[in-house]
Amino acid sequence: MTDHCSFGGHPLMPTSPRIAVLVAAVVLALLSPASASSPGTSYIFPAGAQRGTTVKVIVGGFYLYETCPWEMSGPGTTVSKNLKLAERQIWFEGPRIPMPDSQRSESYPKDQLGTVSVAKNARLGHRYYQAWTSEGVTAGKPFVIGHLPEIVEQEIDGRPIPTPVTLPVTINGRIFPREDVDIWTFNGKKGRSYVCEVNAARIGSPLDSRLEIIGPDGLRVAENTDHFGNDSYLRFTAPADGTYRVRIHDLKFLGFQSYVYRLTITDGPWVEQAYPLGIQRGTRTKVQLLGQRLPVEPVTVNVPADAVGTIGHSLSVPAGETNVFALAVSDHPNVLESNSNNTPATAQAVTLPAVLNGRIESVGDTDHFVFQAKKDQSLLMDLQAARLGSLLDARVSVLDAAGKRVGGGDESKGSSDPKFTFKAPADGKFTVVVSEQEPGRGGERFAYRLEISPSVTAGPGFQLKLPGDAISVARNGEAKFKIHVERTGGFNDEIALAVENLPAGVTVTGGDKIPKAKNVVEMKLKATKDAVVTVKSVRITGKAKAGDVEITSQAILAPATVHDTVRNTMKVAVAVPVPFKFTGVFESKFGAQGTTFYRRYTIIRNDYKGQLTATIADIQIRHLQGITCKSRPVPKDSDQFDFQIQLPPWLEAGRTSRTQMLLVGIVTDPDGTSHKVSYTSNKESDQTVVLATSGLVGVDTSKTSIISSPGDAVELPFTVLRGTGAGGPGTAELVLPAHIQGVSATPVKLAPGQTSGKLIIRFAKSGAGPFNQPLKVRARITDARGDQLIGETAFEIVTE
């Protein structure tokens, strides 16, 4: 049996299991609000990979353009040099979102392609990826290294089609578009235990998952919504042999490009909890493993002497390698509760400082520990339960010798775990009592760790905290950020700060020290007008003296979960200011469904002589509801131009759309280096505002469905409804989803004024389908301006 301390923890690790997007609070001079198109990322798909494999990934990027550099932090992973814009963007429109939901803002990341290779001996857990352009650097986001075989969903649009998998497996999937449901199937054996775990919210995905297990008889076996925050988890025993379906969807039936998930399904070893929940550093300790296919007897766990905080641990057991589970690490001796400490009379005597490990094993169980304290002695009592995955909602009480309650707590800020300071009112013995707050609760999963120690146990010291892992400063501009400090052991003196490895042309002004008794300082980066456009990993170090002892500390980003490691650098990017912009005069006009809409803008070039291209912005103030735009060059000799967007034929009539334009150009340095930059604006006067009206072209078919037979050809009559200005020539065509194969139809040319025709739908002799969503008949009519007027209708294919 082998154990693995897989992840370095840190005592400053937040209690929340969620991944927070780390973004420095910055102010960029020369980059006014809603103008600079700063780069960003929304997701990576797949969101992880197995050790020893190479995977192709899609990074959902904002303003990363055709290509950009990127990297992934931490040992054991290598990535392609650049991300490259995909020639074909994966897009599923999904059901139309009606008002008022369609009035909210929406982001539309573009597919950027890359590869990630993971070493066979890579440490399990999170790595963080970042990308950058000449306009800045993105905040780091997690990529997961796993130990089980993995597959990636082959995404298709339409109604769900069950996909078989072989266990054990980690499935990388995505709930996209809205109302998407993914169904995975496996062969189950009667009496065997299976684990299904979703990892999504914990890696920054907006998915609020729901899992449902359907048995061979079509009946529900198990379901779960929230277990690890918004992430689902369940373990069930198969009631019969046969095929089991695992359904996953968003609880509110939302979905989008960023709704990625990792779904692990396994009948192998899986640790849900260890007891005790933690151990003393540098020791070998027996722990009981709770979960699936694990040894019945306690196993030995080794924790290195340099382990701190809460660490991730995995074990090799006879049935295979376990998942990573949390273990808290402490300096103080650990005490395991006795079975007879259920009353004050049988309280277990302990010597402080100590960490008391126990569990509320049954309904109504209470644990009692007795200790000695001196009058006015202050003791910090910190109970860990929920923070370590325990089900216990704990209450802690301190009783004096007469049984009177003289201290206690039931929760602390940001956690349901009690943490408080007890001040002894007199010399003597005191009893600390641990119990469950809610009636009717208890069991082997209701474990806890109660650390009792003097209020000040650490020597004088401090820990600096970075505001994030990315910050950008424009040439000839400034960027501000704050460094926080956590002081320990009564240390309260001044701390000198030093910044290492800044880009050439960037300096720090102010904030060279944290004054005495202060816990935060603002630092300001300044870039010269000719600063080198680059990205550097910057370290910030603090030095101070506590008496004759010099203390040094690097600013860090503390781990957000046990799957993270401490990071001690922040990427600083020098950005190119955008010299050009556009302006508009507010207007709100009617636009018909299925037509091209024009909006005039004025270009302010500020001596910019290069080519400009107009397109649609990646981040929109309002859901687009199918509005598209082709990139178009802006005439070099013109200060005005007409921006064109295509309104879909199914745009909701009566809805006001607000589309944001993006203006892209190339800035060239004196040395010939080129930088792609862009400008956008969400000012109301700069939006393309359209009030949607009924379309000018409609399509109707005499059949709402047709029957497909291999090798057959089926006639589908249609009628084209023409409105004012829609009398020109055109075509009628069959529109196929990308995944439907073996179906074709020759487009029908429409003469001016022609209102009817028929499409001949041909089916291949084999391999046609899958017909899991409607097909469309689309009519395109050319108007007097040469633009397309579009109408369409849908019909179903029914197989014999």
Report pLDDT digits (tens) over 745-784: 999 999 999 999 999 999 999 999 999 999 999 999 999 9
Has residue 460 got a pLDDT over 90?
no
Average pLDDT over residues 370-379: 95
Say which DSSP state 167 is in: S
Domain at 581-693, CATH from 2.60.40, 2.40.50, 3.40.720, 2.60.120: 2.60.40
Phi, psi of 54 (to 5 degrees): -120, 130
Report pLDDT digits (tens) over 195-254: 999 999 999 999 999 999 999 999 999 999 999 999 999 999 999 999 999 999 999 999
Has residue 282 got a pLDDT over 90?
no
Has residue 18 got a pLDDT over 60?
no
Domain at 37-146, CATH from 3.40.50.720, 2.60.40.10, 1.20.1050.10, 1.20.1260.10: 2.60.40.10
Has residue 10 got a pLDDT over 50?
no
Kindly state the tokens that stand for 154: 């082959």
Which fold, 697-799? Immunoglobulin-like (2.60.40)
Q: For residue 634, give the 3-state DSSP assignment.
A: strand
Predicted pLDDT at 538? 97
Which fold, 461-569? Immunoglobulin-like (2.60.40)
CA atoms within 13 A on the CB side of 650: 13
Among 658, 646, 637, which residue's Cα sits nearest to residue 584?
658
* Residue pair 768/781 in contact by the 8 Å Cβ criterion: no
Predicted pLDDT at 634? 93
Residue 589 vs residues 97, 187, 654, 661, 727: alpha-carbon distances, Å: 22, 58, 12, 17, 23
Domain at 150-267, CATH from 2.60.120.380, 1.10.10.60, 1.10.1060.10, 2.130.10.10: 2.60.120.380
How many Cβ atoms sit within 10 Å of the Cβ of residue 628? 12
Following CA atoms 693, 723, 704, 628 in sequence, which dihedral angle do they give, to the nearest 10 degrees? -50
Cα–chain center distance at 212: 22
Residue 708 vs residues 256, 763, 769, 770, 776: alpha-carbon distances, Å: 32, 7, 10, 11, 15
Predicted pLDDT at 454? 87
Least confident of 29-38, 173-182, 460-469: 29-38
Average pLDDT over residues 562-578: 93
Q: pTM of the full predicted structure?
A: 0.91
How many Cβ atoms sit within 10 Å of the Cβ of residue 26? 19
Residue 585: partners with Cβ closer than 8 Å, 6 or more residues away: 685
* Residue pair 641/556 in contact by the 8 Å Cβ criterion: no
What proportion of the chain, given as a percentage, has pLDDT over 90?
84
Q: Using CA of residue 740, residue 746, residue 752, residue 754, what is the dihedral sign?
A: negative
Cα(376)–Cα(132) distance, integer angstroms: 56
* Residue pair 341/347 in contact by the 8 Å Cβ criterion: yes
Question: How does residue 101 score in pLDDT terms, banded at 50, 70 and 90?
Answer: confident
Cα(145)–Cα(403) distance, integer angstroms: 52
Predicted pLDDT at 564? 86
Kindly state the tokens that stand for 269: 């070893």
How many Cβ atoms sit within 10 Å of the Cβ of residue 639? 12
First to last CA, the chain: 57
What proportion of the chain, given as a percentage, has pLDDT over 70?
94
Following CA atoms 299, 302, 307, 313 in sequence, which dihedral angle do they give, to the nearest 10 degrees? -40
What residue ranges of the chain are covered by domains with CATH 2.60.40.10?
37-146, 697-799
Residue 39: partners with Cβ closer than 8 Å, 6 or more residues away: 61, 62, 63, 64, 68, 131, 132, 133, 135, 136, 137, 138
Strand partners, 286: 300
Kindly state the tokens that stand for 701: 């078919």
Q: Label residues 725-746 b or e (16+ Cβ within 10 Å = b).
A: ebbbebebbbeebeebebbebe
Which fold, 334-454? Jelly Rolls (2.60.120)
What residue ranges of the chain are covered by domains with CATH 2.60.120.380?
150-267, 334-454
